[in-house]
Structure 1
Amino acid sequence: MLICGNAPHVGHVGQACAVHVHSPADDVRDPRTQAGPNPQHLLATLLGEYLESSEADLPSAAVVAMLAEFGVSESSARAALSRLTKRGLIAVRGAGRPPVYHLTPQAIARHRSRMDHFLSFGARPPKWTGDWVTVSFSLPQSGQAARHAVRKALGALGFARLYDSVWIRPGSESGPVKQAMHDILDGVDGGRWSVMHTRFDEEAGPHGPAAAYDLAGLASGYEDFIAQYSSLRVAVRDGEVDATRALVARTSVMDSWRKFPDVDPDLPEHLLPATWPRQAARELLLEIHSALGSLAEARLIEIATPHWPDAASWITHFRASEESLSVRVHRDR
């Protein structure tokens, strides 16, 4: 779900935008995506890709060594640890010094759910009924704070602004948005709002719902992804990627891909441009991700072991199954 200031379009991944993921009740939260290097985001990707047990004791020095492989300084690595702890993705075990961290069970479940989401996204076209949830609201001039809060909440719930105060999202689930509107606007003098289930007479026309989305910007994001990693795919096919390069490359390609499932509204095919690059980008991701898994795991163990002697007992990797869900790849220890 994408919020880019007060921009009327969503889906443009080429600008500095914040991806907000609706958090489950246990309040385990992914770090927000931001422009430029993000050690928190990178560390969350590493933990989700290569660890699966809350029993593993992860020394802080091992985390520093892992992130150093990606050019992250020690101070930035320790700051990322601290911030992911505050977000509930990891927790400190005991009171020893230096600190030892572990994944929480909630975070592991969250990681697996998110990994499945990343790997399965785009595997098959959405089941389409033609239904849209539409939200319309009206506020007095004095209601600027409430207007900002409404726009922020709607963006976080996957709505796009069709017109100034008319927001839409595909599907028929309206419970969360009704609750959000109640929470924000109940008690606001002069505020009015409606949640409706609608269909468009000319859904695929120039005035239809696709106009709410920056599909050109999203397509450009996919094309940039393909351009960035096409040479890597050639190197993988030619057997030119060793373990050292594999860890950085595999993590980088997933870290780059993981924004798309949150910003792509997954519109039905008849609302998309004739040449839509998502499938080509997805196939590139899966080929690189699957081919480099064992090499990347081996490199991560090599890096971590001097600081974490039990690293080989805990570090693993996941790949996409035939159902496009993540499965652990077992290997002999």
Structure 2
Amino acid sequence: MNAQEPADEVRIPRAQIGSSPQHLLTTLLGEYLDSSQADLPSTAVIAILREFGVSESSARAALSRLVKRGLIATRGNRRPPVYHLTSQAIAKHRSRMRHFLNFGAQPPRWTGEWVMVSFSIPSSGQAVRHGVRRSLTALRFVGLYDSVWIRPGREAAPAREALDELLRPVEGARWSIMHVRFDEESGPHGPASAYDLTALSAAYSAFIEQYADLRVAARNGEVDAARALVARTSAMDSWRRFPDTDPDLPHHLLPRPWPRQRARETFLDIHSALGALAQARLVQVATPYWPDAASWITHFQASQDPARPEPTGGSAAATSRADGDPSPR
């Protein structure tokens, strides 16, 4: 009997700086496995995570946590355990991967509208106030003033749901959600002042510098399969923080020069060029413990991107999948 949680219970681990074994395993499953039919032995997972310096006990703990989160489920009662991706997890992975790979491809369609949240919580509700701020931050809102939070665009439903859940039980709490326009968007009292764009620009520049040599080596075919797996995963883990934290402000609110496009090109060059090599290394590592590994392991790559040239080299592997569509096996 398969242990499987309903779709709305699937919880992706929160993004963080650095990779816990749980976060790392989530990245690897999203990048290289795309079928709930695949039987994934725990011994193969342990061998794969060993490539990243993860101990056996930590690998087993990561598997256990992903079962609790609904990302994977056990297949029967075999020993050693065998796992499979849940169909809900595959849908979540595909959506997240498209988000990571397509972020920054096109400027946002800008209408000048912002969603604004304002709330008032009794002084005794400090824990609730912290929970509201944490939830709004996860929804990519930013504090304009103490209890006034904003985000660009018109999408207000997630904030409405979060505030209803958190504040409706709190006696004396009040909140409002509004669609607004600012007379002075880029001035010192406008919405742009709420963002630390200097720090975000520095983070993009640091990413470019960190992966500059790897980008050149990948382009020149100088990266072997063993290095490709770890390097490509590291680049993804570093890049994936940006789509979740960059507010994607309209062009006229960004400082000049804005390094996001250079960072995106760096990431996509590495991700595309090393995909087939990383896949080959995974198959090599997993096969002694999982004889069918080559039939199931694939790799995710960006679909045709109008914002950049067609990838070259190893990125066009016949066994890859583009935009989440599994390759024929």
What TM-score do you get using the length of structure 1 for normalisation? 0.88
1:182–1:318 CA distance, 2 compared to 1 (3 A): closer
Task: State the match for 1:225 in structure 2.
Answer: 207
More displaced stretch, 61-70 vs 142-151:
142-151
- Residue 114 (structure 1) aligned to one of 93, 96, 101: 96
Structure 1 residue runs of 5 or longer lacking an equivalent are: 1-23
Q: Deviations over 1:153-198 (max 9, x none)?
A: 2222221100011110111122232232233223533322221111
More displaced stretch, 245-254 vs 25-34:
25-34
Offset of 1:294 from its aligned partner?
Answer: 1.0
Task: State the match for 2:297 in structure 1.
Answer: 315
1:296–1:174 CA distance, 2 compared to 1 (3 A): same
- Residue 241 (structure 2) aligned to one of 251, 259, 266: 259
- Residue 130 (structure 2) aligned to one of 109, 130, 148: 148
Task: State the match for 1:63 in structure 2.
Answer: 45
Does 2:232 match 1:235?
no
Does 2:270 match 1:288?
yes
- Find the residue that maps to 1:130 and give its secondary structure: coil
Task: State the match for 1:20 in structure 2.
Answer: none
Distance in 1 of aligned mates of 2:127 and 2:258: 38
Does 2:175 match 1:193?
yes
Offset of 1:140 from its aligned partner?
Answer: 2.7
Offset of 1:327 from its aligned partner?
Answer: 5.2
Offset of 1:223 from its aligned partner?
Answer: 1.2
- Find the residue that maps to 1:26 and give its secondary structure: helix
Distance in 2 of aligned mates of 1:292 and 1:223: 22
Q: Deviations over 1:131-150 (max 9, x none)?
A: 11111122232222222222
1:164–1:73 CA distance, 2 compared to 1 (3 A): same
Task: State the match for 2:121 in structure 1.
Answer: 139
Q: Please list every run of at least 4 consecutive aligned residues from structure 1 whose deviation after the TM superposition is greater than 4 angstroms.
A: 327-331
Q: Give the superposed CA RMSD.
A: 1.8
What TM-score do you get using the length of structure 2 for normalisation? 0.89
- Residue 203 (structure 1) aligned to one of 185, 189, 196: 185
Distance in 2 of aligned mates of 1:284 and 1:147: 39
Distance in 2 of aligned mates of 1:172 and 1:330: 36
Distance in 2 of aligned mates of 1:187 and 1:61: 46
1:175–1:330 CA distance, 2 compared to 1 (3 A): closer
Contact 2:120 2:173 in 1 (8 A): yes
- Find the residue that maps to 2:8 and give its secondary structure: coil
Higher relative contact order (CA 8 A, sep 6+): 1
